[in-house]
Chains A and B, each alone.
Chain A
Amino acid sequence: MVLDSHKLIAASGESGDRVQFTEYIQKNVALYQFRNGIPLTTAAAANFTRGELATALRKVSILNPYFVNILLAGYDKETGPSLYYIDYIATLHKVDKGAFGYGSYFSLSMMDRHYHSGMTVEEAIDLVDKCIMEIRSRLVVAPPNFVIKIVDKDGAREYAWRESVKDAAVASA
């Protein structure tokens, strides 16, 4: 979902936790902007998200996490684009490429082979399409439809859909 004008959050995992947690982060990021007049940087938003996950992890003194894995992408005017990998037990790492779930086994390998820094948008979409093709052909439980969203200096937005099962449109967050 769109976190703010220049940030995207992709979440996978337990459906209740996923919606609850990402909406909570989204509202808190907005609150910061209202209170302080400037938006959070991507790094700050990532660290805030990690902090919330880490706090929830030990709240009842035993492992009780939000079962949500997150990839947080953003564009900052000073530092450019960045991507953060945050898993459900609050491990935070800044990465160039990331993936979660069963499809990650195929996507990560695809990206290891074809990714290089300084790719153009066209090359990146091409790589994403390659990953989607791999998932579609290799994963038994492959989802039929994909959405591609993008963040750049002009903001965060939906870029394209890759649908193989045209269904009634699902309302997006």
Chain B
Amino acid sequence: MMMQIFEYNGSAVVAMVGKNCFAIASDRRLGVQLQTIATDFQRISKIHDRVFLGLSGLATDAQTLYQRLVFRHKLYQLREERDMKPETFANLVSALLYEKRFGPYFCQPVIAGLGDEDKPFICTMDSIGAKELAKDFVVAGTASESLYGACESMFKEDMEPEELFETVSQALLSSVDRDCLSGWGGHVYVV
């Protein structure tokens, strides 16, 4: 179990940038190694109306991390009386992950949000908080290699929301079809 800790539950998350919008999508399978437990698992959560977080990797750490992040964001909302910007939120996630540098959360988060003037922002990071900003798309999970290929070939600049939805869905579905640990449909959020 230690060797394949990132592949224990199986996951696939992808986020893509469009014209003043973004899309974030994940698969729906929850498994325990090769056994499927559920086909309706939610990997993407809304932090606030303009920031979404997708957590791939070990489901238990994804749930713990999500609870800690919602707590920190609510505290921020109470103190600052406004929502967090996506860049700020990404820094928060990165800091929380690095706090556990020598006993990490086995998750790879994908953060997608709309910043000032509806400028879309996406980023991913590894399990100890090394941020990877991208202008087009980010991927995470057991199907990440397939996702890189699918997104690279299907992505176009400045897609409208409807086209972005189609692109993200097709990229996700075709990638998870080649990965036995993720699949069973997808959840797609377009903002």
Contact = CB atoms under 8 A, between A and B. Distances in A.
A89 B38 contact: no
Contacts of B2: 63
Question: DSSP majority for the B interface?
Answer: mixed
B30 interface: yes
What class of interface size applies to chain B in its complex with A?
A: 10 to 19
A104 B35 contact: yes
A93 B60 contact: no
Interface residues of A, number: 19
A20 interface: no
B26 interface: no
A61 B38 contact: no
Interface string B22-37: 0000000010100101
Contacts of A108: 35
Given A57-B60, A87-B32, A93 B37 contact: yes
A85 to B, nearest CB: 6
Interface of A: 50, 54, 57-58, 61-63, 85, 87, 89-93, 95, 98, 104-105, 108
Interface of B: 2, 9, 30, 32, 35, 37-38, 41, 58-60, 63-64, 102-103
